[in-house]
Amino acid sequence: IGQPLSLLLKNSTLVSRLTLYDIAHTPGVAADLSHIETRANVKGYLGPEQLPDCLKGCDVVVIPAGVPRKPGMTRDDLFNTNATIVATLAAACAQHCPEAMICVIANPVNSTIPITSEVFKKHGVYNPSKIFGVTTLDIVRANTFVAELKNLDPARVNVPVIGGHAGKTIIPLISQCTPKVDFPQDQLTTLTGRIQEAGTEVVKAKAGAGSATLSMAYAGARFVFSLVDAMNGKEGVVECSFVKSQETDCTYFSTPLLLGKKGIEKNLGIGKVSSFEEKMI
């Protein structure tokens, strides 16, 4: 995800400085990106000793690190490897850019967000308004699939997706879709299942060559651009994200959020849902 995501970020006028970090071949990717005729200044950092320099002065940190799924794996199977990677990166962020917005893409997001939060607490710099689990791909997929079924322009469709970012925790609120759409129950059940298992659809189609990287990079960029717009003072920016929440009995839960200069301005909650959606919740 990192390479296509960095290309999308480099392509944006919102980004003034783009620093890339990995444990392999980052300087080459940075050199390649740096030739693109947009304002973002690009620099690559390689290995743990360069991580502090990479993070110093960052306003937003995006963490797509970790291993992807292979056929037959669930997102939870990634836990041991990715949890360690995310915890290490979160600790570095807590030390070197404690005020930054932290956007975690690394799966399982349902677990990597609690881990990131605990690491920030341990360092005494925890601010729940600034730690986001990026679930945007679920919304992007829901918009696309609804648009296909109803012959609409997907750019004009908006389906809130709440809950978590894996299997049955992914809850598309099709009853809240704009524009309003209606589906018979059997079609609604199939559509909901497809949104929940869309990641697995890609894992299977790639047959061992990884998971969703291009659509995830797009979704990650969409979330980052919304967040930066809000940080720059744009009003009325709403995105769903998996965050610390009082909306349900779950400690963390994804709902539509009003974003602002300091991160989450207001949690907009679940809103009115259908009985089918209520059951899933």
The response to whether 17 counts as a known ligand-binding position is: no
Partners of residue 21 on adjacent β-strands = 45
The response to whether 217 counts as a known ligand-binding position is: no
Are 124 and 91 a contacting pair, CB within 8 Å?
no
Partners of residue 104 on adjacent β-strands = 63, 133
The response to whether 143 counts as a known ligand-binding position is: no
Closest CA to 1 of 156, 196, 100, 134: 134
Closest CA to 215 of 236, 237, 195, 241: 195
The response to whether 75 counts as a known ligand-binding position is: yes
Q: How far apart are CA 26 and CA 62, in angstroms?
A: 15
In the residue annotation, 165 being an active-site residue is answered as yes
Q: Which amino acid is at 121?
A: K
Q: Which one of the listed residues 25, 35, 123, 165 is annotated catalytic? A: 165
User: Which tokens is 235 given?
Assistant: 């009003």
The response to whether 141 counts as a known ligand-binding position is: yes
The response to whether 156 counts as a known ligand-binding position is: no
Residue 66: φ, ψ to 5°: 120, -175
Q: How far apart are CA 189 and CA 101, in angstroms?
A: 36
The response to whether 205 counts as a known ligand-binding position is: no
The response to whether 267 counts as a known ligand-binding position is: no
The response to whether 69 counts as a known ligand-binding position is: yes
Concatenated DSSP letters for 242-268? EEE-SSSSSSEEEEEEEEETTEEEEE-
Measured from the Cβ of residue 42, the count of other Cβ atoms closer than 10 Å reads 21
Q: How buried is residue 138: exposed, middle or buried, by Cβ count under 10 Å (0-12/13-18/19+)?
A: buried
Cα dihedral 151, 139, 215, 57, rounded to 10, equals 140
Q: Which residues are annotated as a binding site for NAD(+)?
A: 22, 82, 105-107, 216
Catalytic residues: 165
Q: Residues marked as binding for substrate?
A: 69, 75, 107, 141
- Detail the residues annotated as belonging to a binding site: 22, 69, 75, 82, 105-107, 141, 216
